[in-house]
Amino acid sequence: MIISNQNNILNSPIEYLKGVGPQRADLLKKELQIFTFKDLIEHFPFKHIDKTKITPILSITPQDDFVQVTGRIVKKEIIGEKRGRRLVAQLQDKSGGAIELVWFQGIPWVEKALIVGDVYRAYGKVSFFQYQAQISHPELEPANASQPEAKSFLEPVYSSTEKLKARGLGGRQLAQLTQSLFLMLSEKDFPENLPAYIIEKLNLIPRYQAICAIHFPPSQEMYQQAVNRFKFEEFFIAQLRLGLIRLERQRYSKGVVFSQVGDYFNTFYAKHLPFELTGAQKRVLKEIRKDVGSGAQMNRLLQGDVGSGKTIVALLAMLLAVDNQFQACMLAPTEILARQHFQGIKKLLGDLPLNARILTGATKTKERRKILESLANGEIQLLVGTHAIIEDTVQFKNLGLAIVDEQHRFGVAQRAKLWKKASIPPHMLVMTATPIPRTLAMTAYGDLDYSVMDELPPNRQPITTVHRQESARSQVMDFIKNEVQKGRQAYIIFPLIEESEKLDYENLMKGYENVKAYFPEPKYWISMVHGKQPLDIRETNMQRFKTNDTQIMVATTVIEVGVDVPNASVMVIESAEKFGLSQLHQLRGRVGRGAEKSYCILITGSKLSNEGSERMKIMCATNDGFKIAEKDLELRGPGDIEGTRQSGALNFKIASIANDREWLLLAQQIATRVLEKDPDLSQPIHQSLKTYLHTLKGRTAWSKIS
């Protein structure tokens, strides 16, 4: 969203650009999604060739990528037969080195044009063949002694596709089209959108100058300045929009007020709390209490590492709702988790006289009818469940707080439905399963209020993580046996990327048989859990593991989130290279929940990609979910991080959430200050900004309802 939509000429269909026409336009649309002049301008070059830089041939090494050389053609010949037929010319420069220029196509034409003894400038990608540097199909132009050594500008290189190249729309032609388009445009087509005082303070170059320099920079420095300007602009505009949405919510979305801390909360806190809350838990509770007392609707994201103790915070918040005569509900993404939460909550509540129920897809019709009735008349105070809760038939008397656990499994539309369950929308607390890097959270969820629990309960033993190859599997099995004999339990996880994938399923079955061979019945018992099983069988197997009737759990990632079996001390992950970092971390979080020392063993084949082995290294090096999340972002980029794909806020052209942290923080700081001083952007100095924001297409729906 660099250029806004207000300008007519920029909205012209691309076929109207001279040199394009209907057929090429079709290809541009299909291949590069270039529909308008604006789209072409926004097709930024991915790099520039420095035409001022000439590399002496003798200094070229295999490490060089693209080079430009200049020298005399000393020889040319056509060699080879049929497909191997090629034109080879030798170019010698002042350094005394020689490079081969090779053509496989257009041989007669090039052969005729190439004059032995003349001086040329050649540019292209170097490769080495038997220690000889070569450029195939170089860009070549005569370089007469009378001409200046080289043109002094950076030539843009645009990405194109094979199809486009075949139709004469390669990178060079795109450059020509872009250049001719710029001739039709002027400063007024790219009005400045940033306030003058910000431009001045940050020493940014003006917008028009920047857009020109992104394509045709007069110098490397100028290019960098253009890049900087857009990094700031993109982050700043995004932060400003998020800030405006947040302000609007705070101003207009009225919330119910939990004005008092009552008996439920106080009694629970004094008599039922099984442990001292961590500092982070206390802080987050304070933040929540402030929100729910403010009169505006709370819309808060709670981030905390696996095991940081989000559940108890959620429960305390729900008690606060009940204390104020409101109902509260908590949604989990799966049946297993909902049930686990419910059991956990019941246990914590003990004899506290509070009507808590569970509602899931498995709830029997008769029971369900009863629950719906008591929800509607207000008898049920606290409801735990799955997405069954959000069905339209479920009506609350006065829902005051909705908590969504393990946020990324829940669609935005589903959350939106929760809003509508009460005349005044309930307070929302969204809890993430795994941490998201701060920069990502700022952009993807920047319109939400945001709490972090960056502290684990005390006395947690760090989990020891090791990486083993498949060839060491029998040692791993021996290790498990040893732990099981000590009374512990173990998980062995197989990847099932797509629950329907036959091959993965077969792997799981083979793995299961293999484990059985090491752990024969009746000495040992094994549970197996996967997505293809009927729900009741899955539940039974899960339950048997929880009650320690089975010692080993062979499973797919259906057990990924939240499952709590404190006696389990070993987590083995098969084909660990197939999992992403956050998933590995989440799986590892299934152990280390009790007092026993726990282990995570990552098993992979011997051949690993660089990224794969990087992931294993990080897992072995740290237990810190926030560090892992940062690394994940670095390795994979924001678009691949679970839960953020849908978020339009991440579509930056130049700025990168992974690499431009400083710019993002600066942009956020300044956006916050602008909105503090001028929340409506009504001051004259913010007029250009306001105009620009108005021209951007509609707000992204996700941000309003997260």
Site string for ligand ADP, 547-566 (x = CB under 6 A): -----------------x--
User: Do the beta carbons of residue 86 and residue 107 sit within 8 Å?
Assistant: yes
Binding of residue 308 to ligand ADP (CB under 6 A): yes
Tell me how far, at minimum, the Cβ of 318 lies from Mg ion, in Å.
14
Which residue, 347 or 369, has its beta carbon nearer to Mg ion?
A: 347
Q: How are beta strands 382-385 and 327-331 bridged, if at all? A: parallel
Binding mask 273-302 for ligand ADP (x = CB under 6 A): --x-xx--x---------------------
Distance CA 688, CA 208 (A): 14
Q: Least separation, in Å, of the C-beta of 137 and ligand ADP?
A: 57
Q: Token pair of 424, please?
A: 């005044």
Q: Which is nearer to ligand ADP, 241 or 310 (CB)?
A: 310
Name the one range near ligand ADP by CB under 6 A: 170-178, 219-227, 303-311, 655-663: 303-311
Closest approach of Cβ 205 to ligand ADP, in Å? 46
- State which H helix or E strand residue 179 sits in: helix 171-184
Residues 140-199 that bind ligand ADP (CB under 6 A): none
| Total site size for ligand ADP, rule CB under 6 A | 15
**In the complex, least distance from residue 323 CB atom to ligand ADP, rounded to whole angstroms:** 21
**Which of Mg ion, ligand ADP, none does residue 593 bind to, with CB < 5 to 8 Å depending on kind?**
ligand ADP
Query: Which of ligand ADP, Mg ion, none is residue 583 near (CB under 5 to 8 Å by kind)?
Result: none
| Residue 121 interacting partner from ligand ADP, Mg ion, none (CB closer than 5 to 8 Å by kind) | none
Which residues, in sequence order, are bridge partners of residue 382?
A: 328, 356
Residue list 249-278, contact with ligand ADP (CB under 6 A): 275, 277-278
Q: Using CB under 6 A, pick the residue from 124, 217, 243, 307 that binds ligand ADP.
A: 307
Work out how close the CB of 405 gets to Mg ion at its nearest, in angstroms, rounded to a whole number: 6
Q: Is 592 in the site for ligand ADP (CB under 6 A)?
A: no
Instruction: Decide whether 309 or 385 has the Cβ nearer to ligand ADP.
Output: 309
Partner in contact with 275, chosen from Mg ion, ligand ADP, none, beta carbon below 5 to 8 Å by kind: ligand ADP
d(CA 79, CA 64): 27
Q: Which is nearer to Mg ion, 426 or 562 (CB)?
A: 562
Nearer to Mg ion, 495 or 562 (CB): 562
CB of 313 to ligand ADP, least distance (A): 8
- Which CB atom, from 71 or from 562, has the smaller least distance to Mg ion? 562
| Whole-angstrom distance, CA of residue 350 vs CA of residue 111 | 91
> Does 310 help bind ligand ADP (rule: CB under 6 A)?
yes
The C-alpha angle 176, 178, 182, rounded to 5 degrees, equals: 115
Q: Is 381 in the site for ligand ADP (CB under 6 A)?
A: no
229 binds, among ligand ADP, Mg ion, none (CB under 5 to 8 A by kind): none
Residue number with the smallest Cβ distance to ligand ADP:
309
Closest-CA residue to 657 (of 464, 442, 392): 442
The tokens of 557 are what?
A: 């990632």
Question: Which residue, judged by CB position, is nearest to Mg ion in the bound state?
Answer: 562
Minimum distance between the CB of residue 320 and ligand ADP, rounded to whole angstroms?
17
Q: By CB under 6 A, what part of segment 441-470 binds ligand ADP?
A: 457
CB 291 within 8 A of CB 313: no
**CB-nearer residue toward Mg ion: 310 or 488:** 310
| Residue of 282, 657, 674, 698 whose CA lies nearest to 441 | 657
Sheet holding 449-453, edge to edge: 356-359, 382-385, 327-331, 399-404, 427-431, 299-304, 449-453
Number of H helices, E strands in the chain: 24, 21
Nearest to 361 by CA among 396, 323, 324, 332: 332
Q: Other C-beta atoms within 10 Å of 276: how many?
A: 10
Min separation Cβ 457 and ligand ADP, Å:
3
Amino acid, res. 57: I
Binding span for ligand ADP by CB under 6 A among 137-145, 154-162, 307-315, 358-366:
307-315
Closer residue to ligand ADP (CB): 309 or 638: 309
- Pick the binder of Mg ion from 562, 592, 625, 638 (CB under 5 A): 562
Read off the tokens for 672.
Answer: 């916050």
DSSP track, 265-331: HHHIIIII--SPPPHHHHHHHHHHHHHHTSSBPPEEEEEE-TTS-HHHHHHHHHHHHHHTT-EEEEE
Cis peptide bond N-terminal to 148, omega within 30? no
d(CA 622, CA 631): 11
Q: Which of 222, 306, 322, 529 binds ligand ADP (CB under 6 A)?
A: 306
Minimum gap (Å) between residue 562 Cβ and Mg ion: 5
* Concatenated DSSP letters of 105-128: SSHHHHHHH--TT-EEEEEEEEEE
In the complex, the smallest distance separating the C-beta of residue 333 from Mg ion, rounded to whole angstroms, is: 11
Q: Please, where are the H alpha helices in 115-219?
A: 162-166, 171-184, 196-202, 207-215
Taking Cα atoms as reference points, which of 100, 146, 94, 96 lies closest to residue 122? 100
Which amino acid belongs to residue 98? Answer: A
Smallest distance, Mg ion to C-beta of residue 686, A: 43
Interface with ligand ADP, residue 435, by CB under 6 A: no
Pairing of strands 552-555, 489-493: parallel
Cα 623 vs. chain centroid, distance in angstroms? 20
Region of 103-111, 225-233, 309-317, 538-546 interacting with ligand ADP (CB under 6 A) = 309-317
Distance CA 117, CA 115 (A): 6
Q: Could you tell me the smallest distance in angstroms from the CB atom of residue 585 to Mg ion?
A: 14
319 binds, among ligand ADP, Mg ion, none (CB under 5 to 8 A by kind): none
From the list Mg ion, ligand ADP, none, partner contacted by residue 307 (C-beta under 5 to 8 A by kind): ligand ADP
Q: Which of ligand ADP, Mg ion, none has residue 457 at its interface (CB below 5 to 8 Å by kind)?
A: ligand ADP
Give the dihedral sign, CA 184/165/45/36.
Answer: positive
Among 2, 240, 284, 312, binds ligand ADP (CB under 6 A): 312
Residue 140, helix vs strand vs coil = strand
Closest approach, Cβ 457 to Mg ion, in A, equals 13
**Whose Cβ is closer to ligand ADP: residue 309's or residue 446's?**
309
Shortest spacing between CB 562 and ligand ADP, in angstroms: 6
484 is written with which tokens?
């099981």
Listed ranges 22-30, 149-157, 226-234, 561-569: which one lies at the site for Mg ion (CB under 5 A): 561-569
Q: Which residues contact 629 (CB under 8 A, 6 or more apart)?
A: 434, 435, 436, 437, 440, 581, 582
Give the span between the Cα atoms of 443 and 649, in whole angstroms: 6
578, 495 Cβ separation under 8 angstroms: yes
Which parts of this chain interact with ligand ADP (CB under 6 A)? 275, 277-278, 281, 304, 306-312, 457, 564, 593
Which parts of this chain interact with Mg ion (CB under 5 A)? 562
